[in-house]
Amino acid sequence: MTAIRWAIEYDCGLDHIARETQQKLGEQLQEITKCLPENDGYGPFWESMRRSALRVEMEGWEFGYRLDQEAERLVVMYAVRRI
């Protein structure tokens, strides 16, 4: 079985975020995509993912993202500083 390689895209600017944090974010998002099931988009998992507010928190930042299962991409929608 061949793993699907998901694209990671950013719909928000990350220029104001430290390069090290950006790198860690990219690594963590890659790990998330490796764990996604390779089934059709109609199962309960994908229905839940379409309706869920997904986020990663690290180093005082919150990154919100969504999964586009049809296009096999993870899209980061926002980056908010949390102190």
Is a pLDDT exceeding 60 seen at residue 2? no
For the whole model, what pTM was predicted? Answer: 0.85
Beta strand 73-81 with 7-10 is parallel
What is the Cα–Cα distance from 83 to 42, expressed in whole angstroms?
38
Question: What does the domain layout of the chain look like in residue ranges?
Answer: 7-81
Residue 21's pLDDT is 97
Residue 49, classified by CB atoms within 10 Å of its CB into exposed (0-12), middle (13-18) or buried (19+), is middle
The letter for the amino acid at 54 is: L
Cα distance between residue 14 and residue 26, in whole Å: 12
CATH of domain 7-81: 3.30.2310.20
| 39: pLDDT strictly greater than 80 | no
